[in-house]
Amino acid sequence: MVQALPLPKYRQIYLVLREQFAEGRVAAGAPGELHPMSAFGVVRIIVRKALEWLVADGLIERTPGRGTVALTRPGSRGPRRHLAPLTGLREDIVHIGLRASVKVVRCEVLPASGAVARELGLAPGA
């Protein structure tokens, strides 16, 4: 039997913050170190590691003396999502060394919303 290993705290914080960027909930500014420390009840080094991963994904930029800023494309209202690797729960499970399988239970084609069409370079509704 394979024992489930919990994700490290920094990885959990990284995943939560990355999801917030993907949903556009961080558009007004990027989190520094203090807010995640109090929100997640962790020490600074754990938050720094999570923020390092966001830097590597191209979602934030950290400059000493200036702080942390969200990176955006010209004409975009949100973060540079296209630079971050697209991963999901399955990829995260594989990353920590657990076995995973996928079963498609439903598949459908939907028209692209305005935001999705814009990101994919399609006409709205395509």
At 28 the pLDDT is 54
Residue with tokens 């390092």: 52
Q: CB of 124 within 8 A of CB of 113?
A: yes
At 89 the pLDDT is 66
What DSSP string runs through 25-52? TTTT----SHHHHHHHT--HHHHHHHHH
Q: What is the pLDDT along the chain (126 residues), one digit of tens a residue?
A: 444 557 788 888 888 888 877 776 765 566 678 888 888 899 999 999 999 988 888 888 888 877 777 776 444 444 444 444 556 666 666 666 666 667 888 888 888 888 888 888 889 888
Q: Sort residue 99 into left (φ over 0), alpha (ψ -120 to 50) or beta.
A: beta
Global pTM reads: 0.53
Any idea where the domains of the chain sit in the sequence?
9-120
Kindly report the number of other CB atoms within 10 A of residue 105's CB atom. Answer: 5
The candidate with the shortest Cα–Cα distance to 87, out of 100, 74, 76, 70, is 100
- The structure tokens listed for 96 are 């920590």
CATH class of residue range 9-120: mainly alpha
At 86 the pLDDT is 52
